[in-house]
Amino acid sequence: MSSTSAPPGASAAPGAPAPDPRRWTMLIVALVAMFMAIFDFYVINIATPSLQSQLHIGQATLELVIGGYTFTYASLLVTSGRWGDVFGYKRLFMLGMGLFTVASLGCGIAQNGTQLVAVRLIQGAGAALMVPTVVAFITVSFPPQERPKALSWFGSTIGLAVVAAQILGGALLSADIASLGWRVIFLVNIPIGAVTLLFAARLLPAVKSPRRPRQDVVGNLGIALTLGLAILPIVIGRTEGWPLWGWIMLGASVPVGLATVLYEKGLPGRGGEPMLDLSLFTSRSYSVGILTIVGVMTFYSGFIFGMTMFLQSGLGLSPLKAGLTFGPMGLAFAAGSLSARPMLMKYGVKVITIGQVLLLLSTAVLLVELKAAGTGTSAWEMVAPMVLGGLGTGVTLPALTGVVISKVPQQQAGLASGLLTTAQQFANTIGVAVFGVIFFNALGDHPGKSRFVHALEVVGGTGIGLSLATLAATFLLPRGPMGPPPGARPPAAAPGQPSAVAGTARADSR
């Protein structure tokens, strides 16, 4: 990865290699992978009625179709982040995209529930391989002064994919292309994945971490087992009636997680390199930022789930009409995302606090409208709180992502991005599962429109409590403007001496 001159608007530090002039095109290619992974997590909820009726599967199998993807995705994210550091980010990206695309074909042609569950597990594994490389590419391809802007697009893509799943998913199902029904939401990935692979092979830089880290087999297994023990009962526990084995798994995840952390903490003293690098969490921007992202994504995913259930089942809207109701929210999210980066650079983490205030305001407006209209609530009355929520989340997510990752050393890029995406995906899972339980418990066994209104009110009240905690966490983030991080413009090397940034990325010639 080299260039003879820096592109307009980018100034290379004296003695430092000029940034690749194709880096913004590379970013688009990488963000397509991020979009596809998040899109497929959410779009399945739109298609469940069609899928369940055509494949004749029960609720438990349906939950495995939804949760199987989440299980392998979240469980492998941290591990694959380290694999990117070891084997090269481009290699892992292309392997993940190829696996994701082939698995999407398998989903689209599955003939029964068992087949669909199996290929959804593989699809989740493919997503886990390619997603952590996205932030790693940003870290190694962009100079420090441009990195916050690139990271803001990463955060924006996540939120836009969530809203797009509602809108595009509803449109695809309503169009019923070639009478494919639910299958089209998977088959659409094939041409997109194939084109992305072609551009990735041509554009993405063949780089890896400047230092090859050692493998940590025990850490790999401990992290994956901890996440698996926590995620599986959360995903399918409600439909199974919260069986004893689910509580045993949840309980076991705590000691397994603690044992893994203790093992990882002592590994450097034994000459090893821990999979879970706890030194990352000594940075307040990273540790508090991760916790804040978990809070934001838990509420965001839970809110989207509750609103989807209300619009489709409570108000009886078609998937397309329900999806279009999310349109203004998507536009507001885009507007917030575009303004987040320049505001963050000028005002610092105050921007994140403002975003959380907007989220609180959106939920308050929602509760007031539900109380006022009751069973007369219409979809149009949902637009105002959804717009406020989209704007608040659009401001918050890109800014938080920039705060969390911007100070991470390049040699930890893959691991740090794996932890970040694991936290986001775990929050997505927790949000849908926990808010789903809250929603359906409030709905009761004989739901009418009044019960749906009540269920959404309970979701909103819970969301206010979570948002207040997240708002408080924003005051713990480092204050002040977010200028270029230290080292953005290192001094020129002395004659005959290597550059201060030389060797920070090396070509993967393997």
Question: Angle, to 10 degrees, between the axis of helix 284-309 and the axis of helix 147-175?
Answer: 20
Would 498 be classed as within a structural domain? no
Would 192 be classed as within a structural domain? yes
**Phi and psi torsions of 279, nearest 5°:** -65, -25
Give DSSP secondary structure letters for 170-239: HHHHHHTGGG-GGGHHHHTHHHHHHHHHHHHHHHS--EE-SS-PPP-HHHHHHHHHHHHHHHHHHHHTTT
Range of the domain at 408: 23-478
The tokens for 46 are: 């739109």
Other CB atoms within a 10 A radius of the CB of residue 403 amount to 28
Whole-model pTM: value is: 0.75
User: One-letter amino acid identity for 47?
Assistant: A
**Phi and psi torsions of 4, nearest 5°:** -80, -25
257, 261, 262, 266 alpha-carbon torsion, rounded to 10°: 150
- Among left, alpha and beta (phi > 0; psi -120 to 50; other), residue 348 is left
User: One-letter amino acid identity for 471?
Assistant: L
Would 145 be classed as within a structural domain? yes
Would 503 be classed as within a structural domain? no
Q: How many helices (H) and strands (E) does the chain have?
A: 17, 2
Would 505 be classed as within a structural domain? no
Would 3 be classed as within a structural domain? no
The tokens for 395 are: 């401001």
The tokens for 64 are: 């495995």
Give the Cα separation of 227 and 229 in Å (integer).
6
What's the confidence (pLDDT) of residue 212?
65
Give the Cα separation of 201 and 193 in Å (integer).
12
Task: Name the residue among 234, 159, 176 with its Cα closest to residue 47.
Answer: 176
Would 55 be classed as within a structural domain? yes
- Rg over CA atoms, the chain: 23
* Contact between residue 406 and residue 482 where contact means Cβ atoms under 8 Å apart: yes
Give the Cα separation of 450 and 267 in Å (integer).
56
**Which tens digits make up the pLDDT trace of 63-97?**
788 778 887 887 787 778 778 777 888 889 999 99
What's the confidence (pLDDT) of residue 429?
75
* Contact between residue 340 and residue 399 where contact means Cβ atoms under 8 Å apart: yes
Strands 207-208, 506-507: parallel, antiparallel or unpaired by DSSP?
Answer: antiparallel
DSSP β-bridge partners for residue 507: 207
The tokens for 356 are: 């959380």
Would 329 be classed as within a structural domain? yes
Give the Cα separation of 303 and 392 in Å (integer).
13
Give the Cα separation of 156 and 144 in Å (integer).
19
Spell out the SS3 assignment of 47-58. Answer: HHHHHHHHHCCC
Domain of residue 137, CATH code: 1.20.1250.20
pLDDT values of the chain reduced to their tens digit, one per residue, 510 residues: 333 333 334 444 455 567 778 889 999 999 999 999 989 988 887 787 778 778 888 767 877 887 788 878 877 877 787 787 778 888 899 999 999 999 999 999 999 989 999 999 999 999 989 988 887 788 778 887 787 778 778 777 877 888 888 888 888 888 888 888 889 999 999 999 999 999 999 988 876 666 666 777 888 888 888 888 887 887 777 777 788 998 999 999 999 999 999 998 888 888 777 877 787 888 788 888 889 999 998 998 888 888 888 888 888 888 888 888 888 888 888 888 878 778 877 777 888 899 999 999 999 999 999 988 888 888 888 888 999 998 998 888 888 877 887 677 766 666 676 677 778 777 877 787 788 888 888 887 777 888 999 999 999 999 999 999 999 998 988 765 554 444 444 333 333 333 323 333 444 433
In the chain, the number of structural domains is 1
